[in-house]
Amino acid sequence: MASNDVITLDGVNKSYKLGRIRVPALENVTLTIARGEFIAIAGPSGSGKTTLLNLIGCVDKPDAGRIVIDDVDVTPIPLHRLAALRLNTLGFIFQTFNLIPVLSAYENVEYPLLLQNVSRRERDARVRHWLGEVGLSEQLKQRPDQLSGGQRQRVAIARAMVTEPKLVLADEPTANLDSDTATHILDLLAEINARTGCTFVFSTHDASLIARAQTVIRIKDGRVDDILAARAA
């Protein structure tokens, strides 16, 4: 029986070496995030929100403290052994979309399913489903350089969702989009969260995204300032 929390951080510290100086990025962060939440991590740049997201996303390791993702204590596991966890449990959405330029929209979304060795029929069904969900059924064969920013981000979203993850991490998902497109993307994300129960964690300084979040975690200088429930769950 899975626990209620999908993310648990306990006393997490992370610092970086800049030349000879050690720069602390996160100090003594302790928090939990429940399943199904739609959470924003807000803060000025340099506050450590990207670092926090990286640690949760299992693409970086803390210097101290414990991290549990989907009931798995990932603290002692080296990063390259977490590939399977990232593949099956997590989904990523990037500020710069990060699609594979030589693959079509369909193939980009298909990629993680190939890593999972899903059957062809199943793959086809799921890819079409999710590209349909993000409204790109007509653009299956287009390559990223033939799509607009908003369309690319939609492909990224479909790619993130196609593996049916428990948790999706998005680093500044709307930063490279105009406000209209950004709004549509946000609507889409909120809708997916509501329908699938997948947890969404953002790092952002977009006020409208912050406004849409259920809970906002405010970070400043590497410390969690405030966890505010912006609206009732």
Partner 1 sequence: MLIKLALRNVLRNGRRSSITLVVIVFGAVALILFGGYKARTFWGLRESTIRGRIGHLQIFKKGASKAEAHKPLEYALDDATSIRKQVERDPRVKMTAAQITLMGLVSNGEKSETFIATAVEPAKDREMNNQKITAGSDLPDNEPDAILIGRGLAQSMHVKPGDYLTLMTTTVAGSLNAMDVRIAGVFTIGIKDYDDRAVKMPIAGAQTLLQTKTVEKLLVFLNNTEDTEAVHNAFLAHLSGVEIKEWSELAPFYHQVVGLYNGIFGFLGIVVFAIVVFSVANTILMSVLERTREIGTLMAMGTTRGRLRAMFVAEGVSIGIIGGVLGLAIGGGLAFLINHGNVMLPPPPGYTTGYRLQIMMQPAVLLTAFLVSFVTATISSIVPAMKASRLKIVDALGHI
Instruction: Collapse the DSSP code of 186 into the 3-class scheme (helix H, G, I; strand E, B; otherwise coil) and give the result.
Output: helix
Residue 154 neighbours by CB under 8 Å, 6+ apart: 134, 135, 136, 185, 188
By beta-carbon proximity to partner 1, the closer residue of 113 and 185 is 113
Give the type of residue at 171: D
Smallest distance, Å, CB 62 to partner 1?
Answer: 12
CA atoms within 13 A on the CB side of 138: 4
Residue 37 neighbours by CB under 8 Å, 6+ apart: 6, 199, 200, 201, 214, 215, 233
1, 102, 232, 233: residue in contact with partner 1 (rule CB under 8 A): 102
101 binds partner 1 (CB under 8 A): yes
Q: Dihedral sign, CA of 71, 75, 76, 78?
A: positive
88 binds partner 1 (CB under 8 A): yes
10, 27, 60, 124: residue in contact with partner 1 (rule CB under 8 A): 60
By beta-carbon proximity to partner 1, the closer residue of 102 and 233 is 102
Return the structure tokens found at 76: 């002692």
Distance between CA 128 and CA 140 in Å, rounded? 8
Fill in the DSSP letter of residue 138: G
By beta-carbon proximity to partner 1, the closer residue of 103 and 175 is 103
Write out the binding residues for partner 1, residues 114-133 only, by CB under 8 A.
114-115
72 binds partner 1 (CB under 8 A): no
Binding mask 144-183 for partner 1 (x = CB under 8 A): ---------------x------------------------
18 binds partner 1 (CB under 8 A): no
Cβ-contact 153, 185 below 8 angstroms: yes
Q: For partner 1, which stretch binds (CB under 8 A), given 108-116, 125-133, 189-197, 210-218?
A: 108-116
Smallest distance, Å, CB 151 to partner 1?
Answer: 18
12, 47, 48, 54: residue in contact with partner 1 (rule CB under 8 A): 54
229 binds partner 1 (CB under 8 A): no
94 binds partner 1 (CB under 8 A): yes
Distance between CA 79 and CA 1 in Å, rounded? 26
Cβ-contact 209, 174 below 8 angstroms: yes
Pairing verdict, β 167-171 and 199-204 = parallel
193 binds partner 1 (CB under 8 A): no
Site residues (vs partner 1, CB under 8 A) = 54, 57, 59-60, 79-80, 83-88, 90, 92, 94, 96, 98, 100-103, 111-112, 114-115, 159
